[in-house]
Amino acid sequence: MALDALVDAYLTHLRVERALSPHTLAAYGRDLSKFLAFSAELGLEEPNELDLGVVSAWLRSLARTGLGPRSAARHLSAARGLMKFLLRENEIADDPTRLAPRPRLGRRLPQPLSEAEMLRLLEAPDPSTLRGLRDRAMLSVTYAAGLRVSELVGLTLGDVDLKRGIVSALGKGSKRRLVPLGEVALDHVSAYLAARLAAESASTRAPSAVLFRSPRGGRLTRQGFWKIVRQHARVAGLASRVHPHQLRHSFATHLLSGGADLRSVQTLLGHANIATTEVYTHVSSDHVRNAFRRAHPRA
């Protein structure tokens, strides 16, 4: 089978058997399309024609285009996943990416907002309007539960239990987790839903099961929520370029700074590997260290 057909088969495998999100699938598709284009330039069409030299030359070509180490590592990861698939399907006898050196990455720490900055952001929406109530509830739920953007915009009315105070989030790999919501977030969701119900009763538009509706009545996009966060960050006077994932970073960092244990934070975030969660201990340690330097007379 030709290499391009095998890439299509691999992406189908990721979509059907691995249940990856459309966003992740699109990223894999873009990265592997570059690998296919490079292979075609070399006149390679069959998988057994690939070797370490081809993979290394591809990575060097990516570096010449100005691609950073982190992006190059992501491209290599996509190629490695493809080769493992081809090995399993007996299309190749050896993995040409096995000995390819991984681009060296600097450790990039999360950039959380301070507790004061988070409060300003949460208070920025105008609660006198339905849209303001919705935005306030979205920001509150994201921060209170540490949700990913895709998890937030995918919530339905049935995913939030106001009586028990929990939200059911559909995370990576279609895995669900239950996360408690604080009283403030619950109050904000309740206020939004009450105003929305009143608006829907006076409208001819059909009710929707989506929790946080767009102005057109459907589900918000990830980009739509990005714009909402940026808009309210400007209103709150936050100088830095705030992005939605910073609310998740802030959730984890503030929990650890407040004394939560790492395993609990891992569970709440839905991380499969605790090493992913451990990065927040460095941020929390920096917070403690900076507080010591500011407050101790001999620091």
CATH number at residue 48: 1.10.150
131 Cβ partners below 8 Å, 6+ apart?
A: 125, 215
Say if residues 284 and 142 touch (Cβ distance below 8 Å). no
Q: How many domains, in total, are found in the chain?
A: 2
pLDDT at 242 over 60: yes
Inside any domain, residue 98: no
> Of 62 and 12, which is predicted with more confidence?
12
Residue in 75, 134, 148, 249 annotated catalytic = 148
Catalytic residue list contains 28: no
Residue in 15, 34, 219, 245 annotated catalytic = 245
pTM, two decimals, is: 0.64
Tell me what the mean pLDDT of segment 246-256 comes to.
Answer: 91
Q: How far apart are CA 92 and CA 96, in angstroms?
A: 9
Tell me what the mean pLDDT of segment 260-266 comes to.
Answer: 89
Query: DSSP secondary-structure letter at 182?
Result: -
Mapped onto helix, strand or coil, the DSSP state of residue 192 is helix
Is there a single domain that holds both residue 63 and residue 123? no
Inside any domain, residue 161: yes
Catalytic residue list contains 34: no
Inside any domain, residue 108: no
pLDDT at 292 over 50: no
Reported as type and span, the H/E element at residue 176 is: strand 176-180
**Closest by alpha carbon to 138, among 209, 198, 220, 197?**
220
Is there a single domain that holds both residue 207 and residue 287? yes
pLDDT single digits (tens) 166-178? 999 998 888 899 9
Is there a single domain that holds both residue 74 and residue 171? no
Strand bridging mode 166-170 / 160-161: antiparallel
Is there a single domain that holds both residue 289 and residue 189? yes
Strand bridging mode 160-161 / 176-180: unpaired
Inside any domain, residue 94: no
What is the CATH classification number for the domain harbouring 138? Answer: 1.10.443.10
**Residue 177: other Cβ atoms inside 10 A:** 17
Is there a single domain that holds both residue 152 and residue 221? yes
pLDDT at 93: 85
pLDDT at 114 over 60: yes
Say if residues 53 and 39 touch (Cβ distance below 8 Å). no
What the block records as the tokens of 139 is 């920001």
Amino acid letter for position 44? L
Q: How confident is the model at residue 283 (pLDDT cuts 50, 70, 90)?
A: low
Catalytic residue list contains 163: no
Residue in 34, 172, 177, 243 annotated catalytic = 172
Tell me what the mean pLDDT of segment 115-126 comes to.
Answer: 95
pLDDT at 299: 44
Catalytic residue list contains 280: yes
pLDDT at 288: 47
pLDDT at 297: 61
Residue in 136, 188, 213, 248 annotated catalytic = 248
Q: Which domain holds residue 265?
A: 115-295
Mapped onto helix, strand or coil, the DSSP state of residue 125 is coil
